[in-house]
Amino acid sequence: MAVNPSSIASLNPIDIASHGPVIPVIVIDRVADALPLAQALLAGGVKVLEVTLRTAAGLPAIEAIARHLPEAVVGVGTVVNADDARSASEAGARFAVSPGYTSEIGGACRALSLPLLPGVATSSEIMAALADGFSFLKLFPAEAVGGIPLLKAWASPFGQVSFCPTGGITSASAADYLALPNVRCVGGSWLTPADAVRAGEWTRITQLAREAQALRAAS
């Protein structure tokens, strides 16, 4: 059953885009890396952190960040069902991001008062998300499904929708996405390179975060 749009006001995502132009999409293999990685991003001015559920370390990493770094806005990515949403909320996630959208996920997040950034890749998915009260959406996987030309094409029929494109975006292409009027922020994994995390190169990650924060002004 679709969520009643009139009852979904509490589900409007927190204004994550107001904190900066890039949301890091974080994959953590070792829980011990969670706090120093989050601290490195915070030092670079990146406050909103999307920790994915792609590894077993995801949930405990969210819990560690939520408990020890309250200044961070830690959320959960790769939410694909209601159980994911519930587990992440219990771990302390402050928002959820899904690769696609179903009313089950929307309803679960509504019940949890967990703000949701739903993923879409087609016009039909946008319409389904809009019907359930969501107008700030994640385009995923952005580059694979059409990227900038697709977002430009959607601007007219979906003028009430704003996007956070994620998937295949790099430091080189991010500014072009951010220049679009219907893009509020982008998601990217380039802020937390796997080799830098493995080696504990936190200064490098801080620098990448600083560069990402400067992207809006350059776009």
What does the mean pLDDT of the chain come to?
93
Q: Is residue 171 part of a domain?
A: yes
pTM of the entire structure? 0.92
Which residue of the set 47, 63, 71, 138 is catalytic? 138
Q: Is residue 1 part of a domain?
A: no
Q: What is the pLDDT of residue 54?
A: 97
Q: Is residue 217 part of a domain?
A: no
Question: 107-144 burial, b for 16+ CB within 10 Å, e for fewer?
Answer: bbbbebebbbbbbbbeeebbebbbebbbebbbbbbbbe
Give me 11's structure tokens.
């589900």
Q: Is residue 215 part of a domain?
A: no
Q: Is residue 12 part of a domain?
A: no
Q: Is 138 a catalytic site residue?
A: yes
Q: What is the pLDDT of residue 218?
A: 58
Q: Is residue 80 part of a domain?
A: yes
DSSP helix/strand/coil, 166:
strand
Element (H, E) at 120: strand 119-120
Which residue of the set 47, 50, 63, 143 is catalytic? 50
Q: Is residue 48 part of a domain?
A: yes
pLDDT digits (tens, 9 = 90+) for 127-173: 999 999 999 999 999 999 999 999 999 999 999 999 999 999 999 99
pLDDT (tens, 9 = 90+) of the chain, 219 residues, equals 333 433 333 445 767 888 999 999 999 999 999 999 999 999 999 999 999 999 999 999 999 999 999 999 999 999 999 999 999 999 999 999 999 999 999 999 999 999 999 999 999 999 999 999 999 999 999 999 999 999 999 999 999 999 999 999 999 999 999 999 999 999 999 999 999 999 999 999 999 999 999 996 555
**Residue 206 belongs to a domain with what CATH number?**
3.20.20.70
Q: Is 50 a catalytic site residue?
A: yes
Per DSSP, helices labelled H in the chain are: 34-43, 58-68, 82-91, 103-112, 123-131, 142-145, 147-154, 174-178, 194-199, 202-213, 215-218
β-bridge mates for residue 136, sequence order: 162
Q: Looking at residue 16, what DSSP letter applies?
A: G
Q: How far apart are CA 11 and CA 22, in angstroms?
A: 22
Q: Is residue 27 part of a domain?
A: yes
Give me the domain span that covers residue 29.
Answer: 20-210
Q: Number of structural domains, the chain? A: 1
User: Which residues are CB-contacts of 56 (< 8 A; sequence separation ≥ 6)?
Assistant: none
Other C-beta atoms lying within 10 Å of the C-beta of residue 58? 26
